[in-house]
Chains A and B, each alone.
Chain A
Amino acid sequence: MCLGVPMQVVSVDGTDAVAEIDGVRRDASLMLLDEEVKVGDYVIVHAGFAISKLDEAEALETLAIMRDIFDPEDMA
């Protein structure tokens, strides 16, 4: 029930959007978001509503921090 799924927005019409993951399309109301959402953006969809926009720069930065953590010294 609490599952939120990261999906890519494929169409936007006012506060009604359609989002897709692995070929599955779902309606995703944008009513709960105050950020602008465009086609191609990633959002977390929960129970038919986009509840958060996914930040690509933050995702890449977290990965970079993770990779920095285990330098060869740590792995010894």
Chain B
Amino acid sequence: MKYQDEYRNRELVQGLAAHLENLVAGYAGTMTFMEVCGTHTMSIYQYGLRGLLPAQVRLISGPGCPVCVTPNSYLDKAIACCRIPGVVVATFGDMLRVPGTSSSLMEERAKGADVRIVYSPLDAVKLAATNPQLKVVFLGVGFETTAPTIAGSILAARQQGLGNFFVLAAHKTMPVPMAALASDPELAISGFICPAHVSTIIGADAYQPLARDYQRPCVITGFEPADVLQGVAMLAAQVVAGESRVEIQYSRAVKPQGNPKARAILDEVFAPCDAEWRGLGMIPGSGLAIREEFASFDAERMLPLTPELSREPTGCRCGDVLKGKITPFDCPLFEQTCTPEAPVGACMVSTEGTCAAAYKYGR
């Protein structure tokens, strides 16, 4: 792939690590940077980037995986959906194995429910168009990267006049929980490695309040090892200089204004709402609900859903992992009763989950 090899070049990565070391050489304190994107988490573990950091620089993982921050109550609703006769639940693959309160979509499929994995929400629209006798429910989970694709699929379904395509929406937006985490004194976050592909949509300007009102440096970085290290060096330079600005390391894909067309489509279909996050609880204004004009595509409004009473799994520390309060290794279930083969919590299921990344690459 174009550029990919160059951004993985060993000499470049080692040079950046040496540069970072020099940058913080005279700094007496510790700086803690949080990444809030599951793909960054995977990259940091996969390339062993923590091992290249000077002692003063610490990286912690935050709520970066959309599957992981989706609470059991949503999974229970999705399961209730697939139990309705004539309903097909279409979803991205990583939702399948996430345990709900007493079942998972995978278990329901084994029992005969029609649950299908799709690559794109447009595939779910096609499924609805070619099967008018079925009701197709797409599980709309994801941040600002994914939400416009779901909005686009709802617009496509409307254009085709489909009455059997629905979305069970639980989208979440990023800067709001970052502000909540920045306010948590226990975490003492010095700055944020901002999500890359979320930022292609919302743009760098969306983080200005974090830098201005919370005095937290924000740098949007790419995913290759050289990208992440350069991003950390840019954050460290700001901390050393006592500054807090928004900077773009990933300028090959992210612009200050983001992607206005994608944002317009997102705003046309969705409106901000309060949302419940696994681990972080209810955060006002951090979710996206389907607007009234598109109510006929809203599974929650249109289908008779009767989910069971939800509860989170006993002993699972996913919530604390998602807040950066503990690492996966601090959870008593990690590698014991909770493994990728038999996950207890969502962070072990998704490939972007912190626990799954730690299990695969962490030792």
Contact = CB atoms under 8 A, between A and B. Distances in A.
Given A1-B92, A1-B350, A31-B265, A58 B251 contact: yes
B262 interface: yes
A52 B253 contact: yes
A37 interface: no
B287 interface: no
A1 B66 contact: yes
Nearest to B122: A48
Contacts of B252: 54-56, 58-59, 62
Contacts of B143: 2
Interface in B106-139: 119-123
A33 interface: yes
Given A2-B145, A58-B251, A48 B121 contact: yes
A4 B197 contact: yes
A65 B325 CA distance: 35
Contacts of A47: 92, 119-121, 142, 146, 149
A58 B251 CA distance: 6
Interface in B231-265: 233, 249, 251-254, 259-262, 265
A32 B259 contact: yes
Interface stretch (B15-23, B48-56, B72-80, B334-342): B15-23
Majority secondary structure of chain A interface residues (helix, strand, loop or mixed)? mixed
Contacts, number: 147
Q: Considering residues A32, A63, A69, which has the most beta carbons from chain B within 10 angstroms of its beta carbon? A: A32
The size bracket of the interface on B is: 35 or more
A49 B143 CA distance: 15
Nearest to A55: B252
Nearest to B21: A74
B66 A74 contact: no
A52 B200 contact: yes
Q: Considering residues A2, A33, A52, A63, which has the most beta carbons from chain B within 10 angstroms of its beta carbon? A: A2
A55 B226 CA distance: 17
Contact of B200 (A26, A51, A65): A51
Interface string B1-19: 1111011000010011011
A37 B142 CA distance: 26
Q: Considering residues A42, A49, A55, A56, which has the most beta carbons from chain B within 10 angstroms of its beta carbon? A: A49
Nearest to B143: A2
19 contacts: A2-B66, A3-B352, A31-B156, A32-B261, A34-B259, A44-B197, A47-B120, A49-B148, A49-B149, A51-B145, A51-B148, A52-B253, A52-B259, A54-B253, A56-B252, A63-B6, A63-B7, A66-B16, A69-B230
